[in-house]
Chain A
Amino acid sequence: MMTHCKNYWVVPVSLSIALVLTIMPLPPHLQPFRPDWLSLVVLYWGMAIPSRFGLGLACLFALLLDVSQGTLLGQHAFGLCLILYVVLRMHRQVRVSSFIQQALFIAVLLLLKQLLVLWVDGIVGRSVENLWLYFAPSLIGMLLWPFVFIILRDIRRSLHIR
């Protein structure tokens, strides 16, 4: 199904860039606020080209994220697959709504993913000292969503991926 589209390479490249942004060093006091770039990009492609973008590629990149973060293998993949599934099912409603509505929807999904990751952390016995700060990336992600959306949409349109 991917073979019809010759510019499909943009998708893995954008996911790689998201991964690089995730492991890029930041000053220590900014680290807890780092948005979940990979989820944002995955959610965009899930919404824009649901027929081409499946769980497989997202899962692979989420596993790479797990390895880079030293978390349990599959921890991020679990959360990401769940929220991607929601987006794939609901892409028609989300696509036509306004930026603000979209951003709120994305924020809920990002919170859900973080909750799942935290949940697994809790089961394995790792603790987080500041629970409120832990959910900050979701809100930052919500604020960044319009920019991510516009940038990726322009790239998608200029390369005729549909």
Chain B
Amino acid sequence: MALSAAAMLTDHRHQHLQEVRNSLSQALYPLQYLVNLPSRLANWSSEIFSSHGQLLQENQRLKQQQLLLQARLQKLEIIDSENARLRELLHASFKVGENVLVAEMLAVDMDPYRQQVVINKGSNDDAYEGQPLIDAHGIIGQIIHAYPYSSEALLLTDLSHSIPAQLNRNGLRTIVSGTGKTNQLELLYISNSADIRIGDRIISSGLGRIFPANYPIGVVSSVKHYPGRDFVEAYATPSAHVGRSREVLLVWDKAKLAADTQATEAAKARP
């Protein structure tokens, strides 16, 4: 009794119990794997039993999509290099780019009152606490506990989650906070006179040093002005398919990695 109370207290205040959590999670992983097995089997068998024609069709479709994306990428590459040149002219810092790794969500339920997921990559794959997660459409959340073989991630729609962001159209800065619903985000601290409209795209500003800059977060869905209040009440729909996508991307910021390795080397050289 007293032991568990003490455990709760230390877990809340300090980070000492991370080791205990890690080892318990290793004991738990087989169970999670077992629970995830039926959905994996279903996926696998649907792949095995899908007909030749279907596969051909899908292949064709994917090839077309690939061509389309390739074409768009060419344009983007030109814009990217132009952007880099302009930034050099301005002596502004230059975004290096990111490393990514595909992770799969385990079909495992957690506390129904928090928006969390378990993914199948952990600290053995260099995932770390606070690492941003994106899906094909935008930012989806961040890792809050990295275990050896799996990680827990908090989705951006959780009540306790916030991201520093800006509007794509005019660079207006705001903070995007979760509401606990999978299809709604709240925009905080936007003054009444600010220029914000329904349909504005919201991107990450990179100010919090956790999320890389310029990734899509959502689209403004409602703006209400109240004369008596200091701030606008604005909501947005997340771009990422929260609650629908099975695969997510772990993002490593190359610039940050370089800075980290430099710091560790400096620490080593100092003795």
Query: Hey, which bits of chain A sit against chain B, CB under 8 A?
Result: 16, 19-20, 22-26, 28, 31-32, 34, 55, 59, 62-64, 67-75, 77-78, 81-82, 85, 120-121, 124-129, 134
Contact = CB atoms under 8 A, between A and B. Distances in A.
A29 B109 CA distance: 12
Contacts of A31: 109, 112
Nearest to B182: A28
B11 interface: yes
Interface of B: 1, 3-8, 11-12, 17, 20-21, 24-25, 27-28, 31-32, 34-35, 39, 107-114, 116, 144-145, 152, 159-160, 180, 243
A81 B6 CA distance: 14
12 contacts: A19-B28, A20-B34, A23-B35, A34-B112, A64-B24, A67-B25, A69-B110, A72-B12, A77-B4, A82-B1, A126-B113, A129-B113
B35 A24 contact: yes
A10 B173 CA distance: 58
A20 B249 CA distance: 27
B12 A68 contact: no
B28 A77 contact: no
A73 B7 contact: yes
Given A23-B31, A67-B25, A126 B114 contact: yes
Contact of A73 (B17, B31, B32, B243): B17
Given A25-B109, A26-B109, A70-B152, A20 B31 contact: yes
A20 B12 contact: no
A145 B180 CA distance: 32
A23 B109 contact: yes
Nearest to A65: B28
A77 B7 contact: yes
A28 B183 CA distance: 14
B27 A78 contact: no
Nearest to B18: A73
B255 to A, nearest CB: 30
Nearest to A137: B112
B186 to A, nearest CB: 14
A74 B4 contact: yes
Question: Which of A20, A120, A124 counts the most chain B CB atoms within 10 A?
Answer: A20
A122 to B, nearest CB: 12
